[in-house]
Amino acid sequence: MSIRRTKFLIALVAVLIVNSAYMPSPEAGLLSLFEKGLMKAGEEATEKAATSAGRRALRTGVHAGTFTERAAAVAASIALPTGALYVEREGDRLITWIIGKQQGPSINLAEPNWQSKLQSLAVQTKDLPAPAIVFDYPTARSLRSEARAAQLLHDLYVVDELGRFYPLRNIPEVGFVLELKPSLVVPISDPPPSLQILSYLDASVDTSKLHFITTMTKNDADSLRRLATNAGDKLIPLEDLRHTGNLVLPGTEGSLTIFIGHVEGDGFAIRLPDGTLAEKIGFDVIEDAAAKQQLSVLFVGCNTYACSGISGTTREVRDTEIAEALTKIMGAQSNADLIEQFGTRTHPFVISNDSLSVAADRLQMRLYSLPDGARTARTGAIGLRLSGYLPSPADPGIWVVFLWLFGAGVVVARTINYFDDSSLRQSFGRVYPSISNRLVAPRRHRLQSTVRELVYMSFAPLTSIYLVFVVVLSAFNFSVSAWSKRDDVMESAWSLLIVPHLVALGLAIFLSDYLVLFAPVALSFTAIYFISEGALLSLGVSLCVAFLVYMYRPAILVELDRAQLAGALWITKRHNHRFVSAAYLSLKTLPVVVSAGFIGWMFVILE
Amino acid sequence: MPVARVTSIVELIQARMPDVLAELRRSHPGSLDLLSEGLVMGDKAMAPGSAVYCALARSGLQVAHKEIADILRDLPLRARYAKRIRLIGSIVAALMSAGVVTSAIFSTKEVTIITALLSFVVTVGSSAASHLETPLFGTNGIAELTEECLRLEMETQKAEFELQYQLSLENADCINAATTVNDICAKLRRLSVFGDVNRS
């Protein structure tokens, strides 16, 4: 075995050991995209456990026998401030509970000014700058038919059966709505959003499953250009989709397709520049096509909620506004952020359970099916790792190693695709989401798509190997299998090509944290060795220290992070958030910088 | 009854003579909605017979005239460039054939390289000439584009007559004239945006 190959193997083993000893803390891995993915998994799991425990208590409370018990459960679950009012309907009466006081009077809905009486009960206190009224879901739903309910002026809230709270608003075009985001609402006439819908809205945007279709034609040249420039190759004109006469929407199962166009009555209308109607496509036709292909569609045009009755805008819109929204969409953090862009605070975008159920269900199904391939992937991964130790028959130069890695990567990529045919491509799609539209810049489009494909083909095998590497590590170290979070892991690997500096910073923090964990072990070994000169004793003590460090590593890293943050605040005197951030990052990477300096100095001394 | 549209007029004026649009907005402050860029993506009722349609039709025609004139001036220029490149290409190709003969006789490496390079230049030049002669979309060449522009010029004249006639009436209703002008402007914008002609 040549020296080069030996060095490579030593480096590989060293990296494995370094990574194996690491357990990320919540803040430590702030900037490392790799850690971020795994961290998110851990956080989600904790949050899920915490909220489900809290909700269970609330659910028990909400379903409790008496009004008093329910009111107490609601008040406790969200820490409602003193003075707020909890209201339920019983026949024609509203029964009330003033938080922090006692049961309030009941109000008869037949009274002419019942809404004023209700409002006067909610008291303004120092905990509560504006009086708040909380309804249970059936009450809020039934009040929409009460004429005077629209005159309720206080901060209104709704609690549903699962114990989730929403602000309640009254929008003239829709009536009472639950506010999910300032510009994204669900009408109260609908059932409350299901857990699937909520987790879909919270999920990060999967741009590989996002498509825009427009009914604009080249006759609307400027409008089409504006949309195509901002949406890139995600935008497809409707006329391109109907070569066979049938409407075939782009995207795979579970995609979200947003239809943008000029709305007239119950569908999109395509008009010629002289005003004559060229074609009309009904919302029902689009929905049928979407249902057949297992996709979700949203309609964007003027007042599409009123026209389609399912989802959409509640105002008149121009293509210029939509084009502007499209630029923001490309940077949206979650699906809710994405959809929200089509609405405004005063005229929010309306969604319903039905409008997103297909995409949400498919996402859930995919999440459930994620761990299925874990065991096989791990076995394959360990096999691959072991095969790395086998001597190569050819000249073991670095190029051979790379080629071997690439070849192995191709096999791994194919294996990953076998278990999950969309993960690799989709994670790439999310990181490199959009290129120029074919209509606006055809040459640039061709060039960019070729480059994109080349980048994909060159790096997909390496990304796959990276995934396997992390899956193997997660089998030893992490509470959550990296296979179940493979989308995040691969996304971070793809990001290496775009934001190497951030990833380098993340790696520096990663190594620094490891050094801090390793320091007590090394120090204890050295100290005992010098004191007693007994190698066995010092090894035993350092092993004990290593065990303790291993047991308490999350707590140590959290404390270290707190200290580093406090240090950064003290150094910068909170002068400017940029200085604070720079000082914090410097302190976080200090151990690795000091160690590098020390090693360099040692080299100089030795020479 | 067809829905009257003026979006393309507004877009063309905005692209070519934004000052004219600003002036229109100043003189018709009540119709800012109509004079804004972008298509209203819904069925919006329009106030018929408003003076703003007459003003829009007039300004639209003025800008359309200028646009057509610009395109018609630009197209022969492109044809001339294409022809010149083709001529140079054929001269170089002729020279190259001599180079091939020399290369065959002396079989020197340098001559072969130079010949290959010249061949490459000729191919590139020929591609450039073809590119200049054809638009980005469709199969129309310079001649067809010129024909299209001349047709638009004729339509512009007709629309002008129609507008003048409407303006001579006591209750001028310029909706029809504005619709015709919008159609012309839409075709011009289509040529500009997707036809690689006088691109903006």
DSSP secondary structure letters along A438-496: TTT-HHHHHHHHHHHHHHHHHHHHHHHHHHHHHHHHHHHS-SS-TTTTHHHHHHHHHHT
Q: Which residue of B has its CA nearest to A443?
A: B136
Residue A458 has pLDDT above 90, yes or no: no
Closest CA to B149 of B65, B84, B81, B82: B65
Model confidence band, residue A536 (pLDDT cutoffs 50, 70, 90):
confident
Closest CA to A123 of A107, A108, A101: A101
Residues of B in contact with A218 (CB under 8 A): 190, 193-194
What pLDDT was estimated at residue B60?
A: 92
Residues of A in contact with B37 (CB under 8 A): 222, 318, 320
- By Cβ distance, the residue of B38, B43, B190 closest to A319 is B38
Residue A80 has pLDDT above 80, yes or no: no
What pLDDT was estimated at residue A49?
A: 45
3-class secondary structure per residue, A373-409: HHHHHHHHHHHHHHHCCCCCCCCCCHHHHHHHHHHHH
Residue B13 has pLDDT above 90, yes or no: yes
What's the token pair of residue A415?
């294996």
Residues of B in contact with A266 (CB under 8 A): none
Q: What are residue A87's DSSP bridge partners?
A: A96, A135
Residue A50 has pLDDT above 60, yes or no: no
Those residues of chain A whose CB sits closer than 8 Å to some CB in chain B are 216, 218-226, 260-265, 269, 271-277, 300-303, 316-322, 439, 442
On whether the CB atoms of residues A220 and B7 are closer than 8 A, the answer is yes
Q: Which residue of A has its CA nearest to B9?
A: A273
- By Cβ distance, the residue of A224, A263, A275 closest to B41 is A263
Closest CA to A21 of A384, A473, A545: A473
What's the token pair of residue A191?
């059932």
Note whether B40 contacts A318, CB cutoff 8 Å: yes
Q: What are residue A277's DSSP bridge partners?
A: A271
What pLDDT was estimated at residue A53?
A: 47
Q: Phi/psi at B170 (nearest 5 deg)?
A: -70, -50
What is the residue whose two structure tokens read 């590593």? A553
On whether the CB atoms of residues A87 and A94 are closer than 8 A, the answer is yes
CA torsion angle for B168, B172, B173, B176 (degrees, to 10)? 10
Pairing of strands A296-300, A277-282: unpaired
On whether the CB atoms of residues A97 and A76 are closer than 8 A, the answer is no
Q: Phi/psi at A193 (nearest 5 deg)?
A: -60, 135
On whether the CB atoms of residues A18 and A514 are closer than 8 A, the answer is yes
To the nearest whole Å, the CA of A172 is away from the closest chain B CA by 19
Q: Is the dihedral of CA B176, B177, B183, B186 positive or negative?
A: negative
What is the DSSP secondary-structure string of A147-194?
GGGGG--SEEEEE-TTS-EEEEEEETTTEEEEEEETTEEEETTSPPPP
Q: How far apart are the first and last CA of chain B?
A: 34
Average of pLDDT values for B7-24?
Answer: 91
Strand order through the sheet with A267-271: A263-264, A267-271, A277-282
Average pLDDT value for chain B: 78
Highest mean pLDDT among A1-5, A189-193, A200-204, B179-183: B179-183
pLDDT, tens only, A88-139 = 888 888 888 777 666 777 777 778 778 777 777 776 555 555 667 888 888 8
CA atoms of A505 and A15, how far apart (whole Å): 17
Q: What are residue B78's DSSP bridge partners?
A: none
Average of pLDDT values for A490-496?
Answer: 76
Closest CA to A158 of A128, A131, A137: A137
Residues of A in contact with B36 (CB under 8 A): 318, 320
CA atoms of A430 and B56, how far apart (whole Å): 45
Burial class (CB within 10 angstroms; exposed 0-12, middle 13-18, buried 19+) of A100: middle
Residues of B in contact with A259 (CB under 8 A): none
Under 8 Å CB pairs connecting chains A and B tally to 99
Q: What are residue B170's DSSP bridge partners?
A: none
CA torsion angle for A322, A327, A332, A337 (degrees, to 10)? -20
CA atoms of A170 and A187, how far apart (whole Å): 10
Reduced to 3 states (helix: H, G, I; strand: E, B; else coil), residue A350 is strand
Model confidence band, residue B196 (pLDDT cutoffs 50, 70, 90):
low
**What is the Cβ-side half-sphere exposure of residue A29, based on CA atoms within 13 angstroms?**
20
Average of pLDDT values for B2-27?
Answer: 86
The torsion region of residue A7 among left (phi > 0), alpha (psi -120 to 50) and beta comes to alpha
What pLDDT was estimated at residue A573?
A: 77
Average of pLDDT values for A323-352?
Answer: 88
List Cβ neighbours of A201 (8 Å cut-off, separation of 6 or more): A180, A184, A193, A334, A335, A336, A339, A356
Closest CA to B158 of B147, B170, B166: B166
Note whether A321 contacts B44, CB cutoff 8 Å: no
| Separation of CA A459 from chain center | 24
| Separation of CA A113 from chain center | 46
pLDDT, tens only, A259-312 = 999 999 889 999 888 888 888 899 998 988 888 888 889 999 998 888 888 889
What pLDDT was estimated at residue A342?
A: 93
On whether the CB atoms of residues B166 and B172 are closer than 8 A, the answer is yes
CA atoms of B177 and B161, how far apart (whole Å): 9
Residue A64 amino acid letter: A
What is the residue whose two structure tokens read 């001036």? B73
On whether the CB atoms of residues A157 and A133 are closer than 8 A, the answer is yes
| Cβ neighbours of A14 (radius 10 Å) | 10
CA atoms of A371 and A474, how far apart (whole Å): 13
pLDDT, tens only, B114-157 = 777 777 777 777 666 665 555 544 445 677 778 888 899 999 99
Those residues of chain B whose CB sits closer than 8 Å to some CB in chain A are 2-5, 7-8, 11, 15, 36-44, 136, 179-180, 182-183, 185-187, 189-190, 192-194
What pLDDT was estimated at residue A563?
A: 86
Name the packing angle between helices A374-387 and A442-476 (round to 10°).
90
Average of pLDDT values for A572-590?
Answer: 79
Note whether A301 contacts B11, CB cutoff 8 Å: no
Residue A223 has pLDDT above 50, yes or no: yes
- By Cβ distance, the residue of A223, A273, A301 closest to B38 is A223
Q: Is the dihedral of CA B15, B17, B18, B22 positive or negative?
A: negative
What is the residue whose two structure tokens read 């997660």? A474
- By Cβ distance, the residue of B15, B42, B193 closest to A301 is B42
> Which value, in Å, is the radius of gyration of the alpha carbons in chain A?
30
CA atoms of B78 and B167, how far apart (whole Å): 39
CA atoms of A103 and A105, how far apart (whole Å): 7
The residue among A602 and A491 whose pLDDT is bigger is A602
The torsion region of residue B42 among left (phi > 0), alpha (psi -120 to 50) and beta comes to beta
Could you tell me what percent of chain A has a pLDDT over 70?
72
Residue B178 has pLDDT above 60, yes or no: yes
Most B CBs within 10 Å: which of A214, A218, A222, A437, as the mutation test of the B interface? Answer: A222
Residues of A in contact with B8 (CB under 8 A): 220-222, 273
Residue A74 has pLDDT above 90, yes or no: no
The secondary structure of residue A192, as a DSSP letter, is P
The residue among B46 and A523 whose pLDDT is bigger is A523
What pLDDT was estimated at residue A9?
A: 60
| The residue count for chain A | 607
Average of pLDDT values for B161-189?
Answer: 86
CA atoms of A128 and A151, how far apart (whole Å): 21
Burial class (CB within 10 angstroms; exposed 0-12, middle 13-18, buried 19+) of B65: middle
On whether the CB atoms of residues A108 and A118 are closer than 8 A, the answer is no
CA atoms of A130 and A492, how far apart (whole Å): 44
Could you tell me what percent of chain B has a pLDDT over 70?
77
Average of pLDDT values for A581-604?
Answer: 86
Residues of A in contact with B179 (CB under 8 A): 274-275
Average of pLDDT values for A439-456?
Answer: 83
To the nearest whole Å, the CA of A278 is away from the closest chain B CA by 11
Average pLDDT value for chain A: 75
Average of pLDDT values for A46-53?
Answer: 47
Residue A193 has pLDDT above 80, yes or no: yes
CA atoms of B60 and A449, how far apart (whole Å): 39
CA atoms of A282 and A270, how far apart (whole Å): 11
Pairing of strands A85-90, A155-159: unpaired
CA atoms of A282 and A280, how far apart (whole Å): 6
From the DSSP assignment, how many helices (H) and strands (E) are in chain B? 6, 0
ipTM over 0.85: no
The torsion region of residue A312 among left (phi > 0), alpha (psi -120 to 50) and beta comes to left
The residue among A365 and A63 whose pLDDT is bigger is A365
Residues of A in contact with B5 (CB under 8 A): 271, 273-275
The residue among A461 and A593 whose pLDDT is bigger is A593
Closest CA to A74 of A184, A159, A174: A159
Residues of A in contact with B176 (CB under 8 A): none
List Cβ neighbours of B115 (8 Å cut-off, separation of 6 or more): B96, B99, B100, B103
CA atoms of A184 and A305, how far apart (whole Å): 12
Residues of A in contact with B38 (CB under 8 A): 223, 226, 318-321
Note whether B5 contacts A275, CB cutoff 8 Å: yes
Lowest mean pLDDT among A122-126, A139-143, A423-427: A122-126
